[in-house]
Every structure is written in C-alpha cells, then in structure tokens.
C-alpha cells in the first residue's frame, strides 16, 4: 500500500489526494498493470468464440449460428482454426487494457479536480463517462494495428492469408495500400470501443453504487474480499450486456472491413449495403455472451489485482455530498 500523503503545497481540493489511498503515480502505475492483466488475459482466453463471432458477421450464410460455426471451423481447419489471431489479440488488448484502465483513473481525477469537490459529486456520472471515453480514445490508438491483423487472420478463407503472427503482420504491412494498415479501422474502432467503454465504466460504477446502497447496505469495508469481488463480477456482467448492445453495430463494421469483398469500400458504403438491422442484430447473441462474461471477468481480475496490491475494489456507495 502506498503511503504517499497530500503535499503541503496543495491548497485547493484535488481529487488525487481525496481518496483513502492517494492516487500518486505509483497508484496509477499499478492500475496500468491491472488493466494489462485484465484485458490481455480475458481477450486471449475467448479467441475461439471471437473467431466464430467475426465469421458470423462477415459470412452469415456459412456461419449462421454459434455452435454451427464452431463445427464448421473445426471441420475445415481443425482445433487450431479456433485459435487464429491469438497473438495479435494478446498484444493488442494488453496495450488497450493499459490505456483503458490506467488512463480512466487519471482522467477521472483530472475531471473531478477541474469540476471541484461539490460538482464532481453531483455530476459523477458525467465524470465516469468523460473519463472512460477519453481513456478509450488513446487506448484504441495502441489497439488498432493489432486488431486489424487479428480480424484479417480470423476472417480470411482458409489458405488465402497467413495465420501465423509474423507472416500475417508482414503481409498486412506489405499490402498496406490495400489493407489500410495500421490505422485504416481506427474510426470504426473508435465508434465501437468508445461507446462500449463509456457504457462499461458508467454502468459498472452505477451498478456497484446500487448494490452497496440498496442490497449490501453496511459500509463496504465491513464485507470480506470475496463478497466485494462477487459484487464486482456481477456489476461487470450487467454492464457488459449493455456494452454489447451499444457497440455491436460498429463491431460488425470493423469485422466487415476485413472481408475481401469489401476491399476499398468506405465505411459508409459498407454500412448502407448491409443495412441497419443486420448491423445491429447479426451476431448479437454470441457477442452478448462473450462481452457479458468478458466484462465481468475483466473487472474481477482488475479488482482482484488492486486488492492484492492493497488498493481495494473499485466503486461503492456514493459518499455524502460535501457540505
């Protein structure tokens, strides 16, 4: 546990030093490590589900349902086919997790300090949304190249594109004029990830607050760590369901951009050809299953790491408004 105390030179209220455990640079560094573990482990673990989900989005005739899609991949490529893209997934989402969680803590303190003690409490939902959206903006800059490689590997017909990480990355670079590597998918990625992350953090904080206000009504620190982490997982899962629905149309667009038939087409052209209904609904069921579980586990891993580091779990009952 860090023992940093509020610097004597700070005369005005600063959110960094208003917490029981001050948010010094070491605190932020630990949050970055927690984010790396949270996103890197979970996204890599669900690669088989992600492979099928992406193929359902780009080729729904061949992969109409989750179970049928798994069987199709196994029949055509064997078990190794369900692991395609694991390396760029591990790298990209570890980097994204560092930015998503680490910068969220930074921006939350920056915006709270800018608003002041009273307004940051009254508008805490806005702080959660603004901080998470700002963090994801930068996190996606780190994720985008690896996400492009992942999607291309996972959605290309067998034998038409390298599946090993090194050759796939080299091919993406070589064909950059065609693949638009490394940032060709950045705008739709922002369109998918920023709403997703805003929902993920906003609703997580609100659900946690609701649990500790209406269900577990004693002070948070009176509950043991397994109970607190159980609340973390449940809150994350609920937030994840909302995230999946909010971000699904943009997720479809990111996957469709990797389809060979859409080579050279603009995002708007692809969206108009597919239609709003299919963008919103195609592959939604497995995405809800994937993202709900993923988000719950991410928050659980993140808060477990924070607990081990003596930092406590995220969120809780709303404090009393300052007088």
- Over residues 262-303, the pLDDT tens digits come to 666 776 777 776 777 777 777 788 778 878 888 999 999 999
Instruction: State both tokens at 48.
Output: 């088989």
77 close to 158: Cβ distance less than 8 angstroms: yes
Lowest-confidence pick of 49-58, 101-110, 282-291, 314-323 = 314-323
| Residue 151 vs residue 6, higher pLDDT | 151
Closest to 17 measured CA to CA, from 31, 27, 115: 27
pLDDT tens sequence across 195-228 = 889 989 999 999 999 999 999 999 998 999 999 9
Percent helix / strand / coil, the chain, rounded to 5: 75, 0, 25
Whether the per-residue pLDDT at 76 is higher than 70: the answer is: yes
Q: Within a 13 Å sphere around the CA of 22, how many CA atoms are in the beta-carbon half? A: 12
Q: Within a 13 Å sphere around the CA of 289, how many CA atoms are in the beta-carbon half? A: 10
Instruction: State both tokens at 182.
Output: 């490394």
Helix (H) / strand (E) containing 195: helix 186-210
**Helices marked H in 46-158 — which ranges?**
47-58, 66-77, 86-115, 117-122, 124-155
Q: What's the average model confidence in pLDDT over 106-123?
A: 96
Structural domains of the chain ordered from first start: 19-308 (1.50.40.10)
């Amino acid at each position: 546990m860090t023992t940093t105390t509020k610097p004597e030179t700070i005369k005005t209220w600063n959110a960094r030093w208003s917490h029981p455990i001050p948010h010094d640079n070491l605190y932020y560094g630990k949050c970055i490590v927690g984010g790396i573990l949270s996103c890197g482990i979970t996204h890599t673990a669900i690669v088989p589900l992600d492979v099928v989900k992406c193929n359902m989005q780009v080729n729904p005739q061949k992969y109409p349902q989750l179970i049928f899609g798994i069987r199709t991949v196994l029949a055509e490529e064997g078990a190794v086919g369900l692991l395609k893209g694991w390396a760029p997934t591990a790298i990209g989402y570890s980097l994204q997790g560092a930015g998503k969680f680490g910068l969220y803590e930074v921006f939350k303190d920056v915006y709270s300090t800018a608003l002041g003690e009273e307004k940051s409490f009254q508008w805490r939902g806005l702080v959660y949304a603004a901080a998470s959206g700002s963090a994801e903006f930068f996190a996606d800059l780190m994720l985008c190249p690896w996400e492009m490689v992942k999607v291309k590997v996972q959605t290309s017909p067998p034998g038409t594109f390298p599946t090993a990480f090194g050759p796939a990355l080299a091919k993406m670079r070589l064909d950059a004029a065609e693949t638009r590597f490394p940032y060709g998918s950045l705008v739709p990625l922002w369109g998918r990830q920023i709403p997703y992350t805003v929902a993920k953090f906003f609703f997580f904080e609100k659900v946690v607050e609701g649990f500790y206000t209406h269900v577990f009504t004693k002070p948070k620190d009176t509950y043991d760590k397994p109970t607190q982490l159980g609340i973390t997982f449940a809150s994350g899962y609920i937030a994840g369901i909302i995230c999946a629905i909010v971000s699904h149309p943009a997720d479809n667009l990111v996957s469709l951009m990797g389809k060979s038939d859409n080579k050279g087409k603009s995002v708007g052209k692809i969206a108009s050809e597919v239609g709003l209904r299919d963008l919103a609904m195609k592959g939604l069921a497995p995405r809800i299953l994937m993202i709900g579980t993923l988000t719950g586990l991410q928050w659980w891993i993140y808060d477990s790491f924070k607990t081990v580091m003596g930092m406590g779990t995220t969120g809780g009952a709303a404090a009393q408004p300052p007088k």
